[in-house]
Structures are given as C-alpha cells and as structure tokens.
C-alpha cells in the first residue's frame, strides 16, 4: 500500500483550511426565507424609461437596460415605515464603467431637497476589475446639496455579480439598517445615542439602471462607453415585507435576528468575515471626512 509523504499531507491540510476560511459562512438566520417572492406587478410599477424594460411572461422577472438615450427604473406601489426589501440581481459582464445598477429605499419625491435614502448599488467596472457594491445612508437631505454627507461602505464581493443571480436586501427597522447579500449581513447601521442621523420617515423601494459616469467607477476616471450598449440588469425574486405607512401601530417590523433586534453572534461572525474579506472603503476610516458630521464614527 502506498504511503503519503508527511509534507504532502501538510499541504493538503493547509489547502483545506484556506478553502474553509474563504468559503461563505452561514449566518444561521435567513430572513429571505421568511418572505415569499412576488410578481413584479404585485409590488412595483414602472417609474421611468418604460421602453427600456421588459417583463417575463410569468411577471416574476424584469430586465432593465441602458443605452445612450435612456436608462430605466421602477418604484414600489406602496410606501413603508420599515421592512425587508430584497431582489435577486444579475448584472452585465465586460465593460460596464459608469453604469449604476441600484436597489434602494427613498422618499425623494415626497421630500425633494430634504430626503432620506438607503442604497445598494452595483457599480460597473472595466474588464479585469471587480464590480463594487456600494451601500449608503442619507438622512434628511444630506445627499441633496453641495454639502454631501454620505455614509458609504463599499465591497468587492466574494463572487462575480455578473456570473449569476444573488439576493441583495435592505432590512430597515426603527433601530437599525442591515444590508444583506445572500442573507449574509455585510453592514449594520444602528440608531445610536451618539446622535447619528437615522432615517425614520416613510420610504418607497426603487430599482434602476442609470449613467453615473461622473463618480461610479474609480471616482469617475472611467466613463460609460456606449460602444458596448445596451447595458443590461436583470431583477427577479422580488420580496417585500414590513409595515406600510398606513399600517396600525401594532404592526411589527421584520426581525433582524432570531432574537428580534441586533445581530446574533453567528450573524456578527458572518458580517466580520464579509468585511475583513471584501470591504474596500468605509467612510468612518476616511481621514478626509469632516468628523463633526459623523458622530457615529
């Protein structure tokens, strides 16, 4: 019988440990499984660019595209004061610099110039470089004027978002916002006693594809190149649950963890893994920021 060399066994074990360390961990709690998927028309309407979107025959999948003439967007039928908002998204490979595929909450139409917003944006790239997932929180107009107060956290994800569908979700409760990718919490933004701004007015859910050439890819260095048009984004697995704006006070938010509020130890471990492995920017670590605007940091 053949014998294994001790060095070979050591290398195999080391490789196994590395693979385990790089594998996506289980968060132990899956809020997406608690919310049934809906047909697009059950929860959403076209907002703009209707000629740049198509709906599947079963009304469960929506394709948006952007070309030189326009992008496209949709909006939830109802507004909410809290909730879980998710969609499975697949973006386009290749040259996509300047293209922003967004899934977000906002009340900008109700409060123009003084609005709240919670963003998940897949920012396009150039061949050989990864997509960037940008998460952001704006509160009461702090993203509208010259004094931009964004709270960005960006990631180069542990998978290729152009290769397959992945589920992106925002869980917004009265005390916290949790950004989730395939149920893994990648970021938690909490309401704190430190005076951090927190969105607490009703919002709608939106999705869109649009030209953000001025900033989206390497700070605007690379622009949308319409020789590669159309730029396509695919949405399916629409999930919405929570308290509509007109819901009674007895309506309970979707829990962020098995305990209800906060994250479990297993969820915190998964979030720590995602941030250590994939986070490439965090506004609280940006020394160029005016810290007086960010008491939460």
Question: Both tokens of residue 162?
Answer: 């152009």
Q: How far apart are CA 61 and CA 74, in angstroms?
A: 13
Question: Both tokens of residue 46?
Answer: 């076209």
Strand partners, 85: 170, 240
Q: Strand, helix or coil at 123?
A: strand
Question: Is 152 designated active site?
Answer: no
Strand partners, 203: 80
The active-site residue, picked from 121, 176, 202, 244, is 121
Handedness of CA 98, 103, 107, 110 (dihedral sign): positive
Question: Both tokens of residue 19?
Answer: 């693979």
CA 209 to chain centre: 14
Contacts of 104 (CB under 8 A, 6+ apart): 117, 118, 119, 120, 121, 170, 205, 206, 207
Contacts of 151 (CB under 8 A, 6+ apart): 136, 137, 138, 189, 283, 294, 296
Question: Both tokens of residue 286?
Answer: 């940006």
The active-site residue, picked from 42, 117, 152, 202, is 117
Place of tokens 């697009």: 40
Following CA atoms 229, 166, 286, 211 in sequence, which dihedral angle do they give, to the nearest 10 degrees?
20
Strand partners, 66: 231
Half-sphere exposure of 21 (CA within 13 A, CB side): 8
Question: Is 121 designated active site?
Answer: yes
Q: Which residues are catalytic?
A: 117, 121
């Amino acid at each position: 019988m053949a014998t294994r060399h001790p060095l070979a066994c050591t290398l195999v074990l080391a490789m196994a440990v590395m693979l385990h360390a790089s594998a996506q961990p289980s968060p132990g709690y899956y809020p997406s499984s608690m919310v049934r998927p809906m047909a697009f028309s059950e929860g959403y309407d076209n907002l703009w660019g209707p000629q740049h979107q198509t709906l599947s025959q079963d009304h469960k999948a929506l394709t948006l595209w952007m070309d030189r003439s326009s992008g496209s967007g949709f909006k939830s039928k109802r507004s909410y004061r809290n909730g879980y908002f998710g969609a499975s998204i697949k973006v386009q490979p290749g040259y996509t610099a300047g293209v922003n595929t967004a899934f977000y909450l906002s009340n900008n139409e109700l409060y123009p110039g003084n609005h709240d917003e919670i963003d998940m944006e897949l920012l396009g790239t150039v061949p050989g470089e990864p997509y960037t997932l940008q998460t952001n929180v704006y509160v009461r107009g702090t993203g509208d004027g010259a004094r931009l107060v964004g709270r960005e956290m960006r990631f180069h994800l542990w998978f290729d978002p152009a290769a397959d569908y992945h589920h992106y979700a925002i869980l917004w409760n009265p005390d916290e916002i949790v950004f989730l990718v395939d149920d893994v919490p990648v970021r938690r933004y909490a309401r704190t006693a430190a005076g951090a701004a927190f969105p607490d007015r009703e919002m709608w859910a939106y999705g869109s594809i649009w030209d953000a050439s001025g900033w989206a890819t390497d700070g605007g260095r690379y622009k949308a190149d319409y020789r590669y048009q159309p730029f396509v984004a695919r949405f399916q697995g629409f999930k919405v649950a929570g308290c509509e704006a007109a819901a009674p006070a007895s309506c309970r938010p979707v829990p962020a963890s098995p305990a209800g509020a906060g994250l479990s130890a297993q969820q915190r471990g998964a979030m720590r893994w995602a941030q250590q492995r994939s986070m490439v920017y965090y506004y609280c670590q940006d020394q160029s920021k005016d810290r007086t605007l960010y008491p939460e940091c």
